[in-house]
Chain A
Amino acid sequence: GAVVSQHPSWVICKSGTSVKIECRSLDFQATTMFWYRQFPKQSLMLMATSNEGSKATYEQGVEKDKFLINHASLTLSTLTVTSAHPEDSSFYICSARDLLYGQSYEQYFGPGTRLTVT
């Protein structure tokens, strides 16, 4: 159980275009999902906390208008990188917590999406 999927697993787009990344909890409900960004050989940098039915909470330095997050249901959160630039190229990973297990702090990570902007 506790599987999180991401789609697409990799994407190449041209500078100036927008890209949408989906994060789904396959066998559990997640009121909270997290979006991370990871540069090669670097740590995970939390970008935002996605809350079902409400606005996302962005970390300091992360542009809300550039990284649009929508958490429309208990099993789906989306991250849209708008007007992508080459410096947005990175590995984007989402994670989710299991709603049913309130005492469980474990975050289940998706497989990640590698974005390359040309």
Chain B
Amino acid sequence: GQQVMQIPQYQHVQEGEDFTTYCNSSTTLSNIQWYKQRPGGHPVFLIQLVKSGEVKKQKRLTFQFGEAKKNSSLHITATQTTDVGTYFCAGRRGSGGSNYKLTFGKGTLLTVNP
């Protein structure tokens, strides 16, 4: 079945340092989504990437979707303590239909030292 690998599993940074998490799928994806889960909370949607080579930015966050639509990355510039949490990528294979099943990566837990 489809597998979505995410690295690193943990990342600890000093406030102000950059952070990147990478996501790789064993199969080509129709789109990839990113979620953030704060400690003790539930996943919150951040963004969706659909097009090959797509790059989207949200303030200090930059999301990329690979040309082959099998990998993606999330980069945070100048981390802040509010960035703490687990970042999940979630891939969807195929398009159309009513089944929008997502396969989640294991997530990257980011901790920030103030």
Q: Which residues of A contact B (CB under 8 A)?
A: 31-32, 34, 41-46, 49, 51, 57, 60, 93, 95, 97, 105-112
Contacts and interface: CB of A to CB of B under 8 A. Distances in A.
Given A41-B109, A43-B88, A106-B48, A49 B99 contact: yes
Interface of B: 1, 31, 33, 35, 41-45, 48, 88, 92, 98-107, 109
A109 B90 CA distance: 13
B108 to A, nearest CB: 10
Nearest to A91: B42
Contacts of A44: 43, 88, 104
Contacts of A51: 98
A109 B104 contact: no
Contact of B100 (A60, A97, A109, A110): A97
Given A109-B42, A110-B42, A43 B104 contact: yes
A112 B106 CA distance: 18
Nearest to A31: B98
B98 A43 contact: no
Contacts of B43: 44, 93, 95, 109
A105 B105 contact: no
B100 A107 contact: yes
Contact of A108 (B45, B99, B102, B109): B45
A34 to B, nearest CB: 7
A108 B102 CA distance: 12
